[in-house]
Structure 1
Amino acid sequence: MAVSSRFAAVAWRGVEYSPDAFGDLVARAAGGLARLGLSAGDRVALVVRNCVEGLVADQAVRRIGAYPVAVNWHGAQDEILFVLGDAKVRLALAHQDLWPSGADVPFISIPLTEGETGPDGQLASWAELLAGPRYEGPRGSAETIIYTSGTTGRPKGVRKLSATAGQRARARAMRDLLYGIRDGARVLVVAPLYHAAPLQMAQHTIERGELLVLHERFDAQRFLAAVEEHSITHTFLVPTMFARVLGLPAAVRNAHDVSSLEFVLHAGAPCPPALKHRVIEEWGAIVHEYYGSTELGPVSFATPEDWTAHPGTVGRPLPGVEVAFLDPESGLPGGAQPAELAVSTTAFGDFTYEGLPERRAELQAGDFVSTGDVGYLEDGYLYLSDRIRDLIISGGVNIYPAEVEAVIQELPGVADCAVFGVTDDDLGEVVAALVEPVAVAPVDPAELERHLSARLGRLKRPRVIEFCDSLPREPNGKVRKRLLRAEFEERMKQQVQDD
């Protein structure tokens, strides 16, 4: 299918921008950027919540061949300042209340409300950027620079290198499959656009010329209302969003007609099998899943039928994607499974890390790129065991947290959990667990202990179990295990001192 060059209609805060109106905003914003001296190869930071201006800016920056840098505005000010410096940003577009003090980058403020004035130090206002003539120069092809979530240290900026025409065509075909977007689709995006999956779904909708409905943030009841109001056919969610929708009272859920939904996609974080079964029961066989990374792009894809027949799979490798498993001794393909997964893909161009080419080189494993994920293939379907960095080694035994998490989640009184290793003088590490109980009928701690004793060997059973109202997560749904591990170890150290 040929990809439309016209722009989508974009619905934002009750206003629907026609394809021509949205395209004109992009051309005028691109013209404004060019007048400010921006050109191909420059970096422009977007420190903005989900909004139509952010979508326009992303398109306009890429139109002139510059790189948009999507900034996680949920981060602390020093984290935002780090990204601005690391990416060598020449200009930023920002919501004024998100702009960090002490930043020395010139910026354009995007007002939160109409008529609002920007802070001191701004280079121009959003209205001034749009005030001049349209950009009529050559169309650029740069992709947005996405910063990883930084779960093992400072985030790394992932920049895609130039793709060939063939790679761009294969990437478009792959995105057609992943997002399922067809002619006449009506797409709702509620996840933050500084993450790769929701951003690319929005970009793909725009490139295809379909309707894109954008929300500033996710709200479960508002999500259901929007599906009904706009007859939404396609959307992207993360597992925590599934849980929040299903956590609404049945009367609230049933008050909204969501029968228009035909394709729901999730990615970014593992979905507990019990939760996914409930979503499929609620909405039908429309829940699709893909596995991939910011660096490599999509790797595998699972239809509802795939997952129902092979529970727990993340699908089959996509066309043009080859997977291998690394030998722990040589670091090259050929290891016994499960082992660290490595990927080779022809659908996307190569990538690098901003300012860290040596970190990119470390990932090369022959013709493959290591992912840091542990997995295995069974009957052609890919399964993930865990992350290499999350592996717990207790008394010389390898323990995969995902295995322990799956056992804990078997109990109906468990809403979610996180398992990780904490330092132990005797065994090196021991297993710890943080459990989020179901609010209505929480799991009984004694029942949980009995269940774990019956299902897991001694070393795999959590030495420490704590309960919480909700797990700390990144906006993409990933649990912040590094934070949990540090907090647990600090509390355990304090207990020893108190004793």
Structure 2
Amino acid sequence: MYHVSRFAAATPDRVAATFIPSGRTVTFGALDAQANQAANALQALGLKRGDCVGISVTNRPEFLSAMLGAQRIGLYYVLLSTKLSVDDLAYVVGDSKAKVVIVSRGCFAAETPEVLSCLGAKVCLLDIEAEGFDDWAQLVAVQPASLPAETSRGRDLLYSSGSTGRPKGILKALPDGAFDAPDPFNIGGAVAYGFGPSSVVLSPCPLYHAAPHRFANITLHAGGMLVLTEQFDPEMCLKAIEAYGVSHSLWVPTMFHRMLQLPDAVRSAYDLSTHRHAVHGAAPCPVHVKQRMIQWWGPIIDEYYSGSEGVGSTNISSAEWLAHPGSVGRPHDCAVHVLGPDGAELPVGEIGDIYFESAHVFEYLGDAQKTGQATSAEGWRTFGDIGYVDADGYLYLTDRRHFTIISGGVNLYPQEIESVLLEHEAIKDAAVIGVPDEEFGQVAMAVVELVDQALASDEMKTAIRSFVRARLGPIKTPKAVAFETDFPRHATGKLYKRELIARYS
């Protein structure tokens, strides 16, 4: 069937999504009707096929209905992080040419709603009282729950996370065909992970991020049930797996790290026997963290490596990973090439820029130069990561290209050092950055968040450096250690390292 409207017709009273801890639920029938109302509301605001709507909404049913509504009337919908500053929000809204923006309570920009009038788009507020703006809930409520007269297929307009500057829109052509035509991407994802009407999928991530959004799409269009958290809490997730009989879940490595910090009594208190697939991606997972997760949950952990651009991907099962620890897997429906500085392909085991050869096409919206920079002479595309391929064809990431530290002519890869730092029992979070140095050009600095901030001291800095030195030797040992109390992270766990670099450079 592979479309939410067909499950709404067949099983209207079955729950499509549950939100925790609030307990809000929406059935397939209700969600389908709300999606129709949202589509009618967007058309009433003047939007037509090819136009764009911005969605800056927390994890709540209205996110799903707005997303599905845009898909029914041929709109691009841009997912706007609820953490964006007003300046960044204005940039993405302007760059995407969004004509309507939906902003809910819980968004950072909504704390000062009066400035939203400067966005240059029609702003509809959800669960926010402010003069001069349309109320999205009221606007939707007066619309018919029937399908709009004019329908066509819409799609997402994703933006890169902007780890090296302003985010860029990833533009792909609108699909043709009927609004309820099966989407090959959704079908492929459902088949790959075994999603179907009996699936219960837990996602403790914000829906505005690419992977959680796409997993939600795959789940709903395959007729599965979503369990969505309104904020991440490690024990609440374990409780949800038991309470809802979760079969599939989506994570980022930071969440694994925090779940492993739970007391043993808490980690063993819940029945996780229904849990068959725990999928993770978005950032590299330290080897010791993944080893401990497999020991705890069993060989159910599947990893993927890809990006919002969608030019290629790799995946790896627990069994494969145990044979190739640290790998992100082998390519799926594409080929991987590792290129040197001169653009020549490197042999097995040598580190270089990772490119994908595939049939997937995209362009950065309004930025031909950046599109060109991500494209090799052969037409292959890169996410900007570096790594190598082993003799069995498994890919390993060493770091983002722009975070490589060149110290006295030696390349240092922060990810390797960060993985060791996170093994230290006193460290809760860690990042390694390059800072200017008169003699070496750059040196490595470790920025760490301690489990107990009271332990921050010069003696702790020395202990941390000694710990790394014993594992990695003197060259890879950070020359300095700094303490932070709150890392600038995306809600998915991705670190905004550029903010730390700016702070300490």
Give TM-score, length-normalised by structure 2.
0.87
Q: Are 1:58 and 2:67 an aligned pair?
A: yes
8 Å CA contact 2:203, 2:249 repeated in 1: yes
Distance of aligned partners of 1:447 and 1:171 in 2 relative to their CA distance in 1, 3 Å threshold: same
Query: Given the superposition, is the C-alpha separation of residues 190 and 409 from structure 1 closer, same or farther in structure 2, using an over 3 Å criterion?
Result: closer
Which residue in the other structure is 1:476 paired with?
Answer: 492
Residue 198 of structure 1, CA deviation: 0.4
Query: Which aligned pairs between 1:5-44 and structure 2 lie closer than 5 A?
Result: 5-7=6-8, 9-12=16-19, 13-44=22-53
Offset at 1:222? 2.0
| C-alpha contact 1:299 1:321 (8 A) present in aligned 2 | yes
- Residue 442 of structure 2 corresponds to residue 426 of structure 1: no
The residue that corresponds to 2:315 in the other structure is: 301
1:97 to 1:10, Cα distance in 2 relative to 1, 3 A: closer
**Cα distance 1:338–1:84, how it changes in 2: closer, same or farther (>3 A)?**
same
Aligned positions of 1:157-168 closer than 5 A: 157-162=169-174
Equivalent-residue separation in structure 2 for 1:203 and 1:110 (angstroms): 22
In the aligned structure 2, how far is the partner of 1:158 from the partner of 1:434?
Answer: 32
Match of 1:6, SS state, is helix
Work out the CA distance in 1 between the residues paired with 2:131 and 2:483. Answer: 46
Moved more, 286-295 or 351-360: 351-360
2:159 alignment partner in structure 1: 147
Q: Structure 1 residues 178 and 478, CA, compared in 2 at 3 Å: closer, same or farther? A: farther
Among 89, 104, 125, which residue is 1:109 paired with?
125
Separation in 2, partners of 1:387, 1:294: 15
Change (3 A) 1:253 1:261: same
Equivalent of 2:466 in 450, 455, 458: 450
Q: Deviations over 1:26-85 (max 9, x none)?
A: 112212221222111111011111110011001101210011111012121211111111
**246-255 vs 72-81, greater mean Cα deviation:** 246-255
| Mapping of residues 22-421 of structure 1, within 5 Å | 22-96=31-105, 98=107, 99=110, 100=113, 101=115, 102-111=118-127, 118-133=129-144, 134-162=146-174, 170-296=184-310, 299-318=313-332, 320-329=333-342, 331=343, 333=345, 337-346=350-359, 349-365=360-376, 366-378=378-390, 379-421=392-434
**Residue deviations 1:4-40 (CA, integer Å, cap 9, x gap):** 7435722234243221221111112212221222111
Q: 1:250 to 1:125 in 2, by over 3 A?
A: same
> Could you tell which deviates more after superposition, 469-478 or 309-318?
469-478
C-alpha distance in 1, partners of 2:312/2:67? 21
Residue aligned with 1:434, SS:
strand
**Deviation digits for residues 162-216 of structure 1 (CA, Å, limit 9, x no counterpart):** 4689x98653343125544244001122201111000000011111111112222
- The 3-state SS of whatever aligns with 2:299 is coil
Contact 2:203 2:227 in 1 (8 A): yes
Contact 1:325 1:342 in 2 (8 A): yes
Tell me the distance in 2 between the aligned counterparts of 1:414 and 1:129. 47
Q: Which whole-Å CA distance do the structure 2 matches of 1:453 and 1:124 have between them?
A: 58
Shift of 1:291: 0.4
Residues 34 and 135 of structure 1 are in contact (CA less than 8 Å); yes or no, is this contact kept in structure 2?
no
Q: Which runs of 5+ in 1 are unaligned?
A: 113-117, 490-499
Q: Is the 8 A contact 1:143 1:159 kept in 2?
A: no
Deviates more, 1:430-439 or 1:87-96: 430-439
Q: CA deviation at 1:230?
A: 1.2
Distance change in 2, residues 1:125/1:161 (3 Å): closer
Change over 3 Å in CA distance of 1:459–1:334 after alignment to 2: closer
Give the conservation status (yes or no) of the 8 Å contact 1:326–1:335. Answer: no
Question: Gapped runs of 5+ residues in structure 2?
Answer: 9-14
Quote the Cα distance in structure 1 between the aligned partners of 2:87 and 2:155. 25
Distance of 2:420 and 2:257 partners within structure 1: 19
Residue type of the alignment partner of 1:282: W
SS of the counterpart of 1:384?
strand
> Number of paired residues?
479
Q: Does the CA-based 8 Å contact 1:433-1:464 persist in structure 2?
A: yes
Computed over aligned residues only, the root mean square deviation of the Cα atoms, in angstroms, reads 2.7
Query: What SS does the aligned partner of 2:313 have?
Result: strand
CA contact (8 A) 2:338 2:389 kept: no
Q: Distance in 2 between matches of 1:2 and 1:10?
A: 17
In the TM superposition, residue 469 of structure 1 has moved relative to its aligned partner by 4.6
DSSP-derived class of the 1:204 partner? helix
* Paired amino acid for 1:221: E
Q: Secondary structure at the match of 1:151?
A: coil
Change (3 A) 1:230 1:363: same
Q: Is the 8 A contact 1:472 1:480 kept in 2?
A: yes
TM-score, normalised via structure 1 length: 0.88
Aligned CA distance change for structure 1 residues 15 and 391 (closer, same or farther; 3 Å): closer
Shift of 1:96: 4.9
% identical equivalent positions: 34
Say whether the 8 Å CA contact 1:161–1:352 is kept in structure 2.
no
Matched, 1:463 2:479: yes
Is the CA contact 2:52–2:96 (under 8 Å) kept in the aligned structure 1? yes
Looking at structure 1, the residues matched to 136 and 81 of structure 2 have their Cα atoms a distance apart, in angstroms, of 22
Shift, 1:435, TM fit: 2.9
CA contact (8 A) 1:413 1:441 kept: no
User: Are the structure 2 counterparts of residues 34 and 452 from structure 1 closer, same or farther at C-alpha, using a change threshold of 3 Å?
Assistant: closer
SS in 2 for 1:218: coil
The answer to whether the 8 Å contact 2:2/2:221 transfers is no
